[in-house]
Amino acid sequence: MIFNNSNSLLFDRVSIDCLLSDNKFVKIYNFFIVNNYKLTENIDITSIVILDLCWVNSELVDATHRKIEYYLNLWKKIILLWCISKIFIEKYGDRLIYIDSKSYTDIEKYFEFSIGISKIWEYFHNGKIDILDTDNSFKKYESELSNFDKIAFIEISDWCQLNCSYCNIKKIKWNTVSQTKENIINQIIQEVNNKKTKIFLLSDDCWSYWSDIWTNIVELLKDIFSINSEIKVYITNIYPSYLVKYYEDIKKFIYWWRIPYILVPVQHYSPRILKLMNRSYDVEKITEVLKDIKKNSKTELHNHIIFNYNEETLDEFMQALKFLNYYDKTFFFKYSDVNNIYGNNHVSYDLDKKFILLKKLQKKYNIDISI
């Protein structure tokens, strides 16, 4: 099935909290822009809906089902994008088109084009960038106002080597697929030539990058910093034990503020919960690294915490609160048993009290609560 630019398109996003997904979505969006497709927000005049999915929890899965049924009842053709799109295959089968995050260039199989996705970025080095606003529509922002003139987003790998028990996305994805170091370096050189020196490394787990090719993230960082002395690297996701393992190799870059931002998703601090999550690390060792970063650098540290997982008690929940001082921002995500792992046996202890505590702590700490 091939569509051409006589077809109008409507973009819809169920939820987004992922730079990796955002970056790919912008590529898809710009693919249609440069190939002169008609984009609309009017459901009455569109024939094709591109529905983007990201975070997995029961509320969002239910919302996606409602959207799919709504668009199907209007006889629209639906294209599902990204991580969790294939969990809907069992119900909808070939009534939908599924494109996962690894194979996002498959969009070219369904639409006529003169400019492929790999070529579109040369059309967008003109001082502007498309980004998504809160109303699920794109706006043009002048780079000097939005500070995007120096930022480049570089995807270094897709998917993840880890096997965290809470992660529904891993049931859809497989192991890491990395870009070659040469390809990454060439992309960054091109971006630096366009005056972009704030480099965001995007991956499901940046430290899984090395696992399928003969290199590692430390060697990649060294090569990136050797390109230009003004380059700063923002690490968008790093498995905590790898930060500990390689910290001695990279801390000089942190001290020199070549790495201004790191997301370290510890996810929990209870040994029992971490074991059940299949995440193996010593939180005390991680804390020592975080203390050193806070003491000796200006690097901004962010964290993810999953709460209410596997009969988490109030005392276990409160263990995470002791570590808030080590982070500039902490995101708390309520666990959602999407795959019905626990069924009716998933007991929720003191959930109301947990929310009350988080709300109170928001006055003192930079906390984001996602339900």
At 272-327, the pLDDT tens digits run 999 988 888 899 999 999 999 999 999 999 999 999 988 899 999 999 898 899 99
Instruction: Annotate 217-283 with DSSP letters as a single string.
Output: HHHHHHHHHHH-TT-EEEE----HHHHHHHHHHHHHHHHTTS--EEE---B---HHHHHHHT----H
Q: Please, what is the Cα angle at 56 between 54 and 57, to 5 degrees? A: 140
At 33-63, the pLDDT tens digits run 888 898 888 999 999 999 887 766 777 788 8
Note the Cα 231 to chain centre separation in Å.
22
DSSP character at residue 85: G
Domain boundaries of the chain, sorted by first residue: 8-109, 257-371
Tell me: pLDDT of 141 over 60.
Answer: no
Name the CATH architecture for the domain at 8-109: 3-Layer(aba) Sandwich (3.40)
Q: What is the pLDDT of residue 198?
A: 92
d(Cα 152, Cα 130) in Å, to the nearest integer? 13
d(Cα 355, Cα 243) in Å, to the nearest integer? 30
Quick one: pLDDT band at residue 358, thresholds 50, 70, 90?
Answer: very high
Tell me: pLDDT of 146 over 90.
Answer: no
* Residue that the structure tokens 């999953």 belong to: 306
Tell me: pLDDT of 359 over 50.
Answer: yes
Tokens representing 336?
């959602």
| Burial tier of 4 (Cβ tally within 10 Å: 0-12, 13-18, 19+) | exposed
DSSP character at residue 135: T
pTM above 0.75, yes or no: yes
Q: What is the pLDDT of residue 143?
A: 32
State in words which class domain 257-371 has.
alpha beta
Q: What is the pLDDT of residue 177?
A: 76
